[in-house]
Structure 1
Amino acid sequence: AHQRGAKIICLIHDLSSFRNKSLTPHEEIMRLNATDVLLTHNHMMRQWLSEHGCKVKMIDYEIMDYLHGESGEPHEPVAGNYSLFYVGNVSFKTHPYLRKLAEIMPDRDIYIYGHHPDTEEISKYNNLHYMGIVSDRQIIKSHMGDFGLSWYGESLDDGVGRIGEYMSYNNPHKISLYLRCNAPVIVWSKAGRAEFIEKEHLGLTVNSLATLDEKLKKIDYKEYRHLTDNVRNINAKLKSGFYLDQALRQAIDYLSVSST
C-alpha cells in the first residue's frame, strides 16, 4: 500500500500478543509500526503499545460502534431487585466466576446467553438461567436482565489470569451490545472502559463482584432511569457509527497535516 502512495490507518480489534499469545509483543509491534495511524481502544492500550515500542500516531476510539439491530426498550424492574445478563462464553471452566456469582447472590436472577454451557452444573442454581445461543439482533430486541455484565476470568475480585488481565486494556464488544440493549453495564473498576462508563454515567464500576449485590440494592428507580436515559443517548451514537467516524476524522486530519 505504501509503494502505491497510500496511507494506512489500522483499527485494533484485539492484540494477538496479549490475548492468545499467537504473536510475541515484538512481532506484533513490528507489524503495527508499519502503519501510519493506529486506532487504539483506550489510553491504557495506547500506553502498553508505547511501552513495547510502538512509534506511530495512536488515537483512541473510546468504544466500539454497533451498527445493526433495532433497539429495544429499557426494562421496568422493581427497584433494588435488578437482574443481570451476560453474553459470551458461559463455560464454568473458562469463567468460574459465574458459578461463584450465582452462589453469593442466590436471590438475584442471572441470565446467560452463549456457547459452551455446563448445563448440568447450571441446573443446580435456581437463579442462573441459560438462555441458549441467541442472535445479537434478538438479544438487543428482547433480552432478559436489567444490567449487562462485562467480566472475564476466574475471580470475583479482579482481573486474574490471562483473559482477566486483558480487561485492563481492551474495549469488549459486548459492552457496546449491552448499551444497544438500552441496559446499564457493570464492569471492573480497573477495566479499560471503566473511565468511559463513569464519565458518561452508564452503569456501575466495581472493585469486586462480591460487593455487587449490596450496590444494586441501593439503586432506586429514579437512579436506574437516569442510567438508562444516558445509555439511550450512547445507544444512538453506537448505531450511527459515531465513534469510529470521530476517530477516522482525527486520523485523516493528522495525515493531512503530516503530509504537508
Structure 2
Amino acid sequence: MSIYITNTYALIGVGSKAQNLVTEEAKKLGIEEIRIPYIDYKSEDRNNMSNKIDGVLTGVTSGDTIIYQNPIWNDPNFDIFFMNKLLGIGNLNIIIFIHDIRPMMFPTEQSIMPSYIELFNVANYLIVPSKNMAQYLGEKGVTTPMVTQHLWDSNKETTFQEVSKLKRKIHFIGNDAKFMISKNFPINSNVTLELYGRKNDEMVRAENINYHGFFDEYNLLHELHRGGFGLVWTEDMYWREYMRYNTSFKISTYLRAGIPLIVHESISCRKMIEDNHWGIIVNSLAEAVEKVKAMTVEEYNSYVKAIQEVKYSLENGYFTKKVLVDSVYKLFVQ
C-alpha cells in the first residue's frame, strides 16, 4: 500500500504556500506527491481533462491512500470531477485535507455547499482547520470522521539574538482595505498601528498609524520581533464569521516572530491561545488598545516566554506532521 498527497501547481499566494508546506512535510513522512496541473475546467475538453488526470494518477492502485488537499482553487466542479476519478480506481482510502471551504468564503458560491457536503461524505477521513469547523460540518450533514489541524506552521527556522520587548505597537499583516483595520483603529493614542501589506487609498492617515509596505519573510519576522503585538482581525462581519472556522497563517507568523497575539473573542483557536498563554482576547480594537496601554513588562514577558516554548514545533512542521499521521493512523486503528 502506498500513501499519496495531492499538490496543485500554478497556484499563487496563500493557497500555494499552504499546499506546498503540507506536501513538503508529508514527503518527510514517506508520503509521495501527486502533482495536479492547473486545468481550466470551463474551457478544457472533457476527454483531454480526463486523460490528464489519468496521467497524474498513474501508479495509484486499489488499497492505496490519497490525501487530497482541498480546495484546488479551480472551478468548484473540478473537485467533483477529480473525486470521481479517484472513486473510479476503487477501494482507495481517501483523506480530504480541508484548507478552506469556498461556499463559506464567497457569498456567490453558497448555493453549492450541498455539493461540498456530498464530497466530504465520500471521504474516509477529513482534516479540518478547527473544532468549530468540525461542529459546523456535522450540523450541515457531514458524517465522515474528522481530525483537527488547529494551527498552520512552517518548515523554516529563524534565529533571534534577543527576546521581544514590550512596545505600545500593534502590528497587522494583510490587506487593510479588505479587513478595515485603520478605519476602525483608535487614533490620538500612544499605541501605534503598524501596517504591512498592500497600500490602499482608503487607509486612514493619523500620527499613530504607520504603513510599511511589503517585507520578505525573513525581514518581516525580524521587524515584528522587535516588540509589540500581532493582530489577527477583521471589521468585516462576513469575514469575522468565517474566522470562527478557518485557520490563519497570520497566527503562526506572529508566534514565530515571538510576539503576543491580539485576537477577537470569536476566533476559531481562542481556546488554544488562552490555554497556552499566547496573547490577549478582546471584543474590539478599542479594547485591544486599552489592554496594550495597561500591559506591564512582567505580563508581556510571560507571554513571550510561553510563545518561545512552541517556536520549535511551529518552525519544524510538527502541527502539520501530527495531523497527517493522526489521519492515516485513524484510518486503520479504531
* Alignment partner, residue 72 of structure 2: none
Deviations 1:45-71 (A, max 9, x none): 101111111111111111111223524
| 1:126 equivalent in structure 2 | 207
Separation in 2, partners of 1:217, 1:121:
23
1:109–1:76 Cα change, 3 Å: same
Are 2:231 and 2:261, in contact at CA under 8 Å, matched by a contact in 1? yes
Find the aligned partners of 2:315 and 2:290 in 1 and give their Cα distance: 33
With over 3 angstroms needed to count, the CA separation of the structure-2 counterparts of 1:27 and 1:60, relative to structure 1, is same
Greater mean alpha carbon deviation, residues 244-253 or residues 172-181: 244-253
Letter in 1 for 2:137: L
Q: Tell me what 1:157 maps to.
A: none
How many angstroms does 1:236 deviate by? 1.3
Matched to 1:16, the amino acid is R
Is the CA contact (8 Å cut-off) linking 1:71 and 1:182 kept in structure 2?
Answer: no
| Matching of residue 33 in structure 1 with residue 121 in structure 2 | yes
Post-superposition offset of 1:246: 1.6
For 2:229, which of 147, 151, 155 is the aligned residue?
Answer: 147
Return closer, same or farther for 1:239/1:4 CA change in 2, 3 Å cut-off: farther
> How far apart in 2 are the matches of 1:71 and 1:85?
20
Output the CA distance in 2 between the equivalents of 1:173 and 1:27: 27
Contact 1:88 1:115 in 2 (8 A): yes
Q: Tell me the equivalent position of 2:184.
A: 100
Check the 8 A contact 2:191/2:293 in 1, yes or no. Answer: no
- Give deviations 1:15-64, integer Å, cap 9, x for gaps: 10101243522122122222221111111110111111111111111111
**CA positional deviation for 1:115:** 1.4
Separation in 2, partners of 1:135, 1:229: 26
Counterpart in the other structure of 2:100: 14
Cα deviation code 1:159-201 (max 9, x no counterpart): x2x1121121111111111111111101011110111100110
Q: Please identify, of 124-133 and 109-118, the stretch whose mean Cα deviation from structure 2 is larger.
A: 109-118
2:194 to 74, 93, 111: 111
Structure with higher Rg: it is: 2
User: In the aligned structure 1, how far is the partner of 2:193 from the partner of 2:217?
Assistant: 18
User: Is 1:75 aligned with 2:164?
Assistant: yes
- Cα deviation for residue 109 of structure 1 reads 1.4
Shift in Å at residue 139 of structure 1?
0.9
Aligned length: 244
Distance change >3 Å, CA 175–CA 215, structure 1 → 2:
same
Unaligned runs of 5+ residues in structure 1 are 155-159
Q: Given the alignment of the two structures, is residue 87 of structure 1 paired with residue 173 of structure 2, yes or no?
A: yes
Q: In the alignment, which of 196, 216, 220 is matched to residue 296 of structure 2?
A: 220
| Contact map agreement 2:259 2:304 (CA 8 A) in 1 | yes
In structure 1, C-alpha distance between the alignment counterparts of 2:198 and 2:229, rounded to whole Å = 20
Give the whole-Å Cα distance in 1 for the aligned partners of 2:250 and 2:159: 15
Partner SS state of residue 211, structure 1:
helix
Post-superposition offset of 1:222: 1.4
Identical pairs, percent: 26
Residue identity opposite 2:251 in structure 1:
I
SS of residue paired to 1:140? helix
Matched-pair contact (CA < 8 Å) for 1:44–1:192: yes
> What is the identity, as a one-letter code, of the residue corresponding to 2:314?
L
**SS class of match (2:146):** strand
Aligned alpha-carbon RMSD (Å) = 2.0
Q: SS at 1:33's partner residue?
A: helix
Which amino acid in the other structure matches residue 39 of structure 1? I
Distance 1:145 1:229, change over 3 A: closer
Q: Which residue of 1 aligns with 2:328?
A: 252
Provide the rounded CA distance (Å) in 1 between the counterparts of 2:305 and 2:198: 31
**1:110: Cα distance to partner?**
1.2
- Structure of greater relative contact order (alpha carbons < 8 Å, 6+ residues apart): 1
Residue 220 of structure 1 aligns with an amino acid whose one-letter code is: T
- Please report how far the alpha carbon of residue 106 of structure 1 lies from its aligned counterpart in structure 2 after TM superposition: 2.3
Please state whether the residue corresponding to 1:29 is helix, strand or coil: helix
Partner of 2:29: none
